Amino acid sequence: MKVELLAYTPDADRVCAAAGKSCYSERPAHELLDSGDPDRVLGRIVGMGHHSVIEHAVFTFSVEGVSRSLTHQLVRHRIASFSQQSQRYVPLERPTYVVPRTVESDPERAEIYGSLMDAVWNAYNRLTELGVPAEDARYVLPNGCTTNITITMNARELLHFFSLRCCNRAQWEIREMADEMLRLCREVSPTIFEKAGPPCVRGPCPEGKLSCGKPRKPTG
Ligand SMILES: Cc1cc2nc3c(=O)[nH]c(=O)nc-3n(C[C@H](O)[C@H](O)[C@H](O)COP(=O)(O)OP(=O)(O)OC[C@H]3O[C@@H](n4cnc5c(N)ncnc54)[C@H](O)[C@@H]3O)c2cc1C
Protein backbone atom coordinates (compact mmCIF):
# COMPACT_ATOMS: atom_id res chain seq x y z
CA MET A 1 0.00 0.00 0.00
CA LYS A 2 1.04 3.58 -0.49
CA VAL A 3 -0.31 6.37 1.72
CA GLU A 4 0.36 10.01 0.92
CA LEU A 5 -0.76 13.15 2.70
CA LEU A 6 -2.16 15.03 -0.27
CA ALA A 7 -3.22 18.26 1.43
CA TYR A 8 -3.70 19.61 4.93
CA THR A 9 -4.57 22.78 6.82
CA PRO A 10 -1.29 24.70 6.94
CA ASP A 11 -0.10 25.51 10.44
CA ALA A 12 -2.95 23.43 11.87
CA ASP A 13 -1.62 23.53 15.44
CA ARG A 14 -1.44 27.35 15.40
CA VAL A 15 -4.80 27.80 13.66
CA CYS A 16 -6.62 25.52 16.09
CA ALA A 17 -4.84 27.09 19.08
CA ALA A 18 -5.95 30.55 17.90
CA ALA A 19 -9.52 29.30 17.44
CA GLY A 20 -9.42 27.88 20.96
CA LYS A 21 -8.00 31.08 22.43
CA SER A 22 -10.64 33.18 20.65
CA CYS A 23 -13.30 31.53 22.83
CA TYR A 24 -11.79 33.18 25.90
CA SER A 25 -10.64 36.48 24.41
CA GLU A 26 -12.09 39.77 23.22
CA ARG A 27 -9.82 39.45 20.20
CA PRO A 28 -10.58 37.41 17.05
CA ALA A 29 -8.55 34.35 16.05
CA HIS A 30 -6.48 36.17 13.42
CA GLU A 31 -5.09 38.44 16.12
CA LEU A 32 -4.27 35.49 18.34
CA LEU A 33 -2.22 33.41 15.91
CA ASP A 34 1.06 34.49 17.50
CA SER A 35 -0.03 35.09 21.07
CA GLY A 36 1.04 32.64 23.76
CA ASP A 37 2.51 29.21 23.20
CA PRO A 38 0.22 27.31 20.78
CA ASP A 39 1.56 23.93 21.90
CA ARG A 40 0.74 24.61 25.53
CA VAL A 41 -2.67 26.20 24.80
CA LEU A 42 -3.74 23.47 22.40
CA GLY A 43 -2.31 20.70 24.56
CA ARG A 44 -4.44 21.95 27.43
CA ILE A 45 -7.64 22.46 25.39
CA VAL A 46 -7.40 19.07 23.63
CA GLY A 47 -6.34 17.42 26.89
CA MET A 48 -9.58 18.67 28.49
CA GLY A 49 -11.52 16.97 25.70
CA HIS A 50 -12.60 20.18 23.94
CA HIS A 51 -12.09 18.51 20.59
CA SER A 52 -14.41 20.76 18.54
CA VAL A 53 -11.49 23.21 18.29
CA ILE A 54 -9.45 20.77 16.20
CA GLU A 55 -12.26 20.33 13.67
CA HIS A 56 -10.73 23.41 12.00
CA ALA A 57 -7.82 21.26 10.80
CA VAL A 58 -8.49 19.04 7.79
CA PHE A 59 -6.27 16.37 6.25
CA THR A 60 -6.59 14.65 2.87
CA PHE A 61 -4.84 11.35 2.08
CA SER A 62 -4.30 9.51 -1.16
CA VAL A 63 -4.24 5.76 -0.56
CA GLU A 64 -3.16 3.35 -3.27
CA GLY A 65 -3.22 -0.43 -3.53
CA VAL A 66 -5.32 -1.39 -0.51
CA SER A 67 -7.95 -4.11 -0.55
CA ARG A 68 -11.69 -3.62 -0.85
CA SER A 69 -11.81 -5.42 2.47
CA LEU A 70 -9.95 -2.49 4.02
CA THR A 71 -12.08 0.16 2.35
CA HIS A 72 -15.28 -1.58 3.43
CA GLN A 73 -14.14 -1.08 7.04
CA LEU A 74 -12.84 2.42 6.35
CA VAL A 75 -16.06 3.84 4.93
CA ARG A 76 -17.91 2.93 8.14
CA HIS A 77 -16.33 6.13 9.50
CA ARG A 78 -19.13 8.57 8.80
CA ILE A 79 -17.50 11.87 9.71
CA ALA A 80 -15.18 11.58 6.73
CA SER A 81 -15.26 12.10 2.96
CA PHE A 82 -14.21 9.47 0.44
CA SER A 83 -13.63 9.20 -3.31
CA GLN A 84 -12.97 5.62 -4.39
CA GLN A 85 -11.87 4.15 -7.70
CA SER A 86 -14.96 2.87 -9.48
CA GLN A 87 -15.28 -0.77 -10.51
CA ARG A 88 -17.94 0.35 -13.00
CA TYR A 89 -15.78 2.80 -14.91
CA VAL A 90 -12.31 1.31 -14.40
CA PRO A 91 -12.08 -2.17 -15.93
CA LEU A 92 -9.80 -4.50 -13.95
CA GLU A 93 -8.53 -6.79 -16.68
CA ARG A 94 -5.34 -7.80 -14.88
CA PRO A 95 -5.33 -9.59 -11.51
CA THR A 96 -4.66 -7.01 -8.83
CA TYR A 97 -5.13 -8.13 -5.25
CA VAL A 98 -3.63 -7.99 -1.77
CA VAL A 99 -1.98 -11.17 -0.45
CA PRO A 100 -2.07 -11.37 3.37
CA ARG A 101 1.23 -12.35 5.01
CA THR A 102 -0.43 -15.44 6.54
CA VAL A 103 -0.98 -16.64 2.97
CA GLU A 104 2.19 -15.34 1.35
CA SER A 105 4.44 -16.97 3.97
CA ASP A 106 3.46 -20.53 3.02
CA PRO A 107 3.80 -22.01 -0.51
CA GLU A 108 0.72 -24.24 -0.24
CA ARG A 109 -1.49 -21.39 1.00
CA ALA A 110 -0.05 -19.05 -1.63
CA GLU A 111 -0.81 -21.62 -4.36
CA ILE A 112 -4.45 -22.06 -3.25
CA TYR A 113 -4.91 -18.30 -3.05
CA GLY A 114 -3.14 -17.46 -6.32
CA SER A 115 -4.90 -20.10 -8.39
CA LEU A 116 -8.31 -18.94 -7.14
CA MET A 117 -7.43 -15.35 -8.06
CA ASP A 118 -6.39 -16.49 -11.55
CA ALA A 119 -9.72 -18.29 -11.93
CA VAL A 120 -11.62 -15.23 -10.71
CA TRP A 121 -9.92 -12.93 -13.20
CA ASN A 122 -10.37 -15.44 -16.02
CA ALA A 123 -14.08 -15.45 -15.26
CA TYR A 124 -14.17 -11.64 -15.06
CA ASN A 125 -12.43 -11.22 -18.41
CA ARG A 126 -14.51 -13.93 -20.12
CA LEU A 127 -17.73 -12.31 -18.89
CA THR A 128 -16.72 -8.86 -20.16
CA GLU A 129 -15.65 -10.42 -23.51
CA LEU A 130 -19.13 -11.94 -23.71
CA GLY A 131 -20.64 -8.48 -23.32
CA VAL A 132 -21.34 -8.38 -19.60
CA PRO A 133 -20.80 -4.76 -18.43
CA ALA A 134 -17.99 -4.14 -15.92
CA GLU A 135 -20.59 -3.15 -13.31
CA ASP A 136 -21.98 -6.72 -13.44
CA ALA A 137 -18.77 -8.68 -14.12
CA ARG A 138 -17.28 -7.13 -10.96
CA TYR A 139 -19.62 -9.25 -8.84
CA VAL A 140 -17.11 -12.09 -9.14
CA LEU A 141 -14.21 -9.97 -7.82
CA PRO A 142 -12.89 -10.76 -4.33
CA ASN A 143 -12.56 -8.77 -1.10
CA GLY A 144 -8.80 -8.83 -1.67
CA CYS A 145 -9.12 -6.88 -4.94
CA THR A 146 -7.03 -3.70 -4.76
CA THR A 147 -8.45 -0.22 -4.97
CA ASN A 148 -7.41 3.41 -4.57
CA ILE A 149 -9.22 5.83 -2.29
CA THR A 150 -8.97 9.48 -1.30
CA ILE A 151 -9.84 10.22 2.32
CA THR A 152 -10.54 13.54 4.01
CA MET A 153 -11.05 13.79 7.76
CA ASN A 154 -10.83 16.60 10.23
CA ALA A 155 -8.45 16.19 13.15
CA ARG A 156 -11.20 15.35 15.62
CA GLU A 157 -12.36 12.44 13.46
CA LEU A 158 -8.75 11.42 12.89
CA LEU A 159 -8.13 11.15 16.65
CA HIS A 160 -11.19 8.91 16.92
CA PHE A 161 -10.14 6.91 13.84
CA PHE A 162 -6.59 6.40 15.20
CA SER A 163 -8.02 5.38 18.57
CA LEU A 164 -9.97 2.55 16.93
CA ARG A 165 -7.78 1.59 13.99
CA CYS A 166 -4.25 1.88 15.42
CA CYS A 167 -5.36 -0.58 18.12
CA ASN A 168 -3.99 -4.13 17.99
CA ARG A 169 -7.61 -5.32 17.83
CA ALA A 170 -8.07 -3.59 14.48
CA GLN A 171 -7.55 -5.73 11.39
CA TRP A 172 -3.87 -5.65 10.26
CA GLU A 173 -4.32 -3.95 6.89
CA ILE A 174 -6.40 -1.00 8.11
CA ARG A 175 -4.09 -0.78 11.14
CA GLU A 176 -1.04 -0.46 8.89
CA MET A 177 -2.76 2.28 6.91
CA ALA A 178 -3.88 4.10 10.09
CA ASP A 179 -0.36 3.90 11.55
CA GLU A 180 1.06 5.50 8.42
CA MET A 181 -1.64 8.20 8.36
CA LEU A 182 -0.80 9.02 11.98
CA ARG A 183 2.92 9.21 11.21
CA LEU A 184 2.19 11.68 8.37
CA CYS A 185 -0.15 13.77 10.54
CA ARG A 186 2.44 14.01 13.31
CA GLU A 187 5.01 15.37 10.87
CA VAL A 188 2.87 18.41 10.08
CA SER A 189 0.82 18.78 13.25
CA PRO A 190 2.79 17.42 16.22
CA THR A 191 0.70 19.01 18.97
CA ILE A 192 -2.74 17.89 17.85
CA PHE A 193 -1.55 14.33 17.27
CA GLU A 194 0.89 14.09 20.17
CA LYS A 195 -1.26 11.64 22.15
CA ALA A 196 -3.04 10.08 19.17
CA GLY A 197 -3.22 6.33 18.76
CA PRO A 198 -5.00 3.50 20.57
CA PRO A 199 -6.35 4.19 24.08
CA CYS A 200 -3.50 2.15 25.63
CA VAL A 201 -0.94 4.83 24.74
CA ARG A 202 -2.86 7.23 27.02
CA GLY A 203 -4.13 4.95 29.79
CA PRO A 204 -5.83 1.64 30.51
CA CYS A 205 -7.27 -0.43 27.66
CA PRO A 206 -11.08 -0.16 27.48
CA GLU A 207 -11.50 -3.48 25.64
CA GLY A 208 -11.98 -5.59 28.77
CA LYS A 209 -11.86 -9.34 28.06
CA LEU A 210 -11.11 -8.62 24.40
CA SER A 211 -7.94 -6.68 25.24
CA CYS A 212 -4.83 -7.93 23.44
CA GLY A 213 -2.87 -7.45 26.67
CA LYS A 214 0.01 -5.88 24.76
CA PRO A 215 -0.18 -2.10 25.05
CA ARG A 216 1.22 -0.37 21.99
CA LYS A 217 4.12 1.98 22.51
CA PRO A 218 3.48 5.62 21.67
CA THR A 219 4.88 6.26 18.17
CA GLY A 220 6.30 9.39 16.59
C1 LIG B 1 -11.86 -3.71 16.13
C2 LIG B 1 -13.15 -3.36 15.41
C3 LIG B 1 -14.06 -4.36 15.14
C4 LIG B 1 -15.26 -4.05 14.48
N5 LIG B 1 -16.14 -5.07 14.22
C6 LIG B 1 -17.32 -4.77 13.60
C7 LIG B 1 -18.28 -5.80 13.33
O8 LIG B 1 -18.07 -6.96 13.64
N9 LIG B 1 -19.43 -5.46 12.70
C10 LIG B 1 -19.71 -4.16 12.34
O11 LIG B 1 -20.79 -3.89 11.79
N12 LIG B 1 -18.82 -3.16 12.58
C13 LIG B 1 -17.65 -3.44 13.20
N14 LIG B 1 -16.74 -2.43 13.43
C15 LIG B 1 -17.07 -1.07 12.97
C16 LIG B 1 -17.57 -0.18 14.12
O17 LIG B 1 -18.74 -0.71 14.70
C18 LIG B 1 -17.86 1.24 13.61
O19 LIG B 1 -18.87 1.21 12.63
C20 LIG B 1 -16.64 1.90 12.99
O21 LIG B 1 -15.49 1.68 13.77
C22 LIG B 1 -16.89 3.41 12.87
O23 LIG B 1 -16.80 3.96 14.18
P24 LIG B 1 -17.76 5.08 14.75
O25 LIG B 1 -19.18 4.78 14.41
O26 LIG B 1 -17.42 5.29 16.20
O27 LIG B 1 -17.16 6.34 14.07
P28 LIG B 1 -17.56 7.37 12.96
O29 LIG B 1 -18.60 6.94 12.03
O30 LIG B 1 -16.24 7.74 12.45
O31 LIG B 1 -18.19 8.53 13.83
C32 LIG B 1 -17.42 9.25 14.78
C33 LIG B 1 -18.27 9.52 15.99
O34 LIG B 1 -19.33 10.40 15.61
C35 LIG B 1 -20.47 10.08 16.36
N36 LIG B 1 -21.53 9.64 15.43
C37 LIG B 1 -21.38 9.40 14.10
N38 LIG B 1 -22.57 9.07 13.57
C39 LIG B 1 -23.46 9.10 14.58
C40 LIG B 1 -24.85 8.83 14.66
N41 LIG B 1 -25.58 8.44 13.60
N42 LIG B 1 -25.46 8.97 15.84
C43 LIG B 1 -24.77 9.36 16.94
N44 LIG B 1 -23.43 9.60 16.94
C45 LIG B 1 -22.80 9.48 15.77
C46 LIG B 1 -20.10 8.94 17.32
O47 LIG B 1 -19.67 9.50 18.54
C48 LIG B 1 -18.93 8.30 16.61
O49 LIG B 1 -18.06 7.59 17.49
C50 LIG B 1 -15.54 -2.72 14.09
C51 LIG B 1 -14.60 -1.72 14.35
C52 LIG B 1 -13.42 -2.02 15.01
C53 LIG B 1 -12.41 -0.92 15.27
Q: Kindly list the domain boundaries of the chain, sorted by start residue.
A: 2-83+147-210, 98-140
The pLDDT value recorded for residue 37 is: 83
Which residues lie with the beta carbon below 6 Å from any ligand 1 atom? 76-79, 157, 160, 164-165, 169-170
What atom of ligand 1 comes closest to residue 80's alpha carbon? 30
Largest Cα–Cα separation, the chain: 70
Q: What is the pLDDT of residue 219?
A: 60
CATH number of 2-83+147-210: 3.30.1360.170
Per-residue confidence (pLDDT) for residue 150, from 0 to 100: 98
58-67/146-154 β-pairing: antiparallel
Pairing state between β 2-8 and 58-67: antiparallel
Looking at residue 91, what DSSP letter applies? -
Distance 153 CA to ligand 1 centre (A): 15
Residues of the chain with pLDDT under 70: 218-220
Contacts 24+ apart (CB under 8 A), 210-219: 210/169, 211/169, 212/167, 212/168, 212/169, 214/168, 216/166, 216/167, 216/168, 219/179, 219/182, 219/183, 219/186
Q: How far apart are CA 18 and CA 20, in angstroms?
A: 5
Give residue 74 CA to ligand 1 midpoint distance, Å.
10
Instruction: Give the residue, out of 69, 72, 160, with the most ligand 1 atoms within 8 A of its beta carbon, to mutate for a pocket test.
Output: 160
Distance CA 157, CA 128 (A): 40
Q: For ligand 1, atom 28, name the residue with the nearest CA.
A: 77
Closest CA to 67 of 154, 159, 177: 177
Which pLDDT value is given to residue 14? 93
Q: Would the pTM of this model clear 0.85, i.e. be above it? A: yes
